[in-house]
């Protein structure tokens, strides 16, 4: 064993920890999230920030910079110095989906402008139906759409160019039906439209539809994970219902390009250790999130894998951003 090599590696890691602590004397570590207060991503960020702060012995503040589906936060972190005092918390969309759906318009490069830090959790995408739709599973829903496609062949999502948008299109293709996409400006108006029966179907984050399902104002008929939702154990997956559609969307932390590897290692360890804390895991599970806690290297692999996976179907959809 090369003791000199490992000695230097350990010293670099310790130095990174000390530099983070020293940085706290001047300014707290900031985690920027591209969605408003109260959103799932915001709540997750605050839980993780609190746990990381205790492990780093450094204050952490959360800054909400909503806009453009999360892109404003990405741009803010891209412009920040790579000193370990600014992080981005973002879902899969801004890193692996938007580079395809907003090709040529995106003002950042997910691979050049950011450094992976830690994969925090997965979440579920689901297909919800209005109570006006006489279907309780995918087979019945497809038959209902086919019975009157001009009237029934519509589905909504909270944002154009998002993962739920493309999941809906992929489902339509696999089911042999045409579904016209109806875009809403955010989750709240999309949910209101579904509850009112203005749209028959909504592709959305499964946790977001909880209140409508509990209030008997809508129904969830499928989720897109490899396994069933923690919160909706009675709802089968797309795959269980005969449609080979699987998506594992995620939330993760990134740093600006140029952040030193030793600093990334220290931040990654703090985040991963936080996610593996049983008390944190319980909080995430209560939010319909699947705790993961993967390090920087694994996150980099996931970002690239999802980037490659979603490129072809997005291109095939013909989506053009407005």
Q: What is the pTM of this model?
A: 0.83
Q: At which of 225, 241, 257 does a domain end? A: 241
Let me know whether 200 and 290 are in one domain: no
Let me know whether 83 and 136 are in one domain: no
Let me know whether 7 and 37 are in one domain: yes
Residue 47 lies in a domain: yes
Burial class, 230, CB count within 10 angstroms (exposed 0-12 / middle 13-18 / buried 19+) = middle
Angle at 251 between CA 29 and CA 66, to 5 degrees: 65
Let me know whether 184 and 212 are in one domain: yes
Q: Which of 123-127, 140-144, 272-276, 314-318 has the lowest mean pLDDT?
A: 314-318
Residue 77 lies in a domain: yes
- Nearby residues of 102 by Cβ (< 8 Å), 6 or more positions away: 161, 321
pLDDT band, very low/low/confident/very high, at 16 (cuts 50, 70, 90) = low
Let me know whether 173 and 231 are in one domain: yes
What is the average pLDDT across 234-241? 97
Residue 230: predicted pLDDT: 83
Count: domains in the chain? 2
Residue 322 lies in a domain: no
Is pLDDT of 306 > 60? Answer: yes
Would you list the DSSP string of 186-250?
SHHHHHHHHHHTSSSEEEEEGGGGHHHHHTTSEEEEEE-SSS--SS-TTSPBTGGGT-------E
Let me know whether 21 and 112 are in one domain: yes
**Per-residue pLDDT tens digits for 51-88:** 999 999 999 999 999 888 899 999 999 999 999 999 99
Residue 26: predicted pLDDT: 52
Residue 92 lies in a domain: yes
**Per-residue pLDDT tens digits for 87-117:** 999 999 999 999 999 998 999 999 999 999 9
Is there a contact between 314 and 97 (Cβ–Cβ < 8 Å)? yes
pLDDT band, very low/low/confident/very high, at 118 (cuts 50, 70, 90) = very high
Let me know whether 236 and 259 are in one domain: no
Strands 154-157 and 180-183: parallel
Domain range enclosing 306: 3-122+249-317
Let me know whether 148 and 40 are in one domain: no
Query: Which one is predicted more confidently, 167 or 18?
Result: 167
**Per-residue pLDDT tens digits for 17-40:** 545 544 444 579 999 999 888 888
Let me know whether 229 and 255 are in one domain: no
Residue 207: predicted pLDDT: 84
Burial class, 213, CB count within 10 angstroms (exposed 0-12 / middle 13-18 / buried 19+) = middle
CATH number at residue 146: 3.40.190.10
């Amino acid at each position: 064993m090369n003791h000199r090599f490992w000695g230097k590696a350990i010293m670099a890691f310790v130095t990174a920890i000390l530099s983070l602590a020293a940085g706290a004397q001047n300014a707290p570590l900031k985690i920027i999230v591209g969605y408003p207060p109260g959103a799932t991503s915001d709540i997750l960020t605050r839980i993780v920030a609190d746990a990381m702060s205790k492990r780093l012995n450094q204050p952490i503040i959360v800054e909400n910079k909503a806009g453009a589906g999360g892109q404003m936060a990405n741009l803010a972190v891209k412009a920040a110095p790579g000193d370990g005092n600014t992080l981005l918390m973002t879902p899969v969309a801004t890193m692996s989906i938007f580079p395809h759906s907003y090709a040529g318009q995106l003002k950042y490069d997910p691979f050049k402008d950011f450094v992976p830090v830690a994969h925090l959790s997965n979440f579920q995408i689901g297909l919800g139906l209005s109570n006006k739709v006489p279907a309780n599973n995918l087979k019945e829903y497809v038959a209902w759409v086919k019975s009157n496609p001009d009237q029934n062949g519509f589905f909504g999502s909270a944002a154009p160019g998002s993962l739920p948008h493309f999941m809906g299109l992929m489902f339509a293709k696999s089911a042999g039906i045409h579904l016209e996409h109806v875009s809403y400006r955010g989750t709240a108006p999309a949910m209101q439209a579904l509850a009112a029966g203005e749209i028959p179907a909504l592709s959305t984050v499964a946790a977001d539809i909880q209140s409508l399902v509990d209030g008997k104002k809508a129904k969830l008929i499928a989720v897109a994970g490899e396994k069933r939702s923690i919160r909706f154990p009675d709802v089968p997956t797309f795959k269980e219902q005969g449609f080979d559609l699987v998506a594992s969307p995620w939330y993760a932390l990134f740093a600006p390009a140029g952040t030193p590897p030793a600093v990334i290692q220290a931040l990654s360890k703090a985040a991963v250790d936080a996610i593996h804390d049983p008390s944190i895991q319980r909080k995430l599970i209560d939010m319909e999130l699947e705790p993961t806690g993967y390090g920087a290297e694994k996150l980099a692999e996931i970002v690239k894998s999802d980037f490659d996976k979603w490129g072809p179907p997005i291109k095939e959809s013909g989506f053009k951003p407005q």
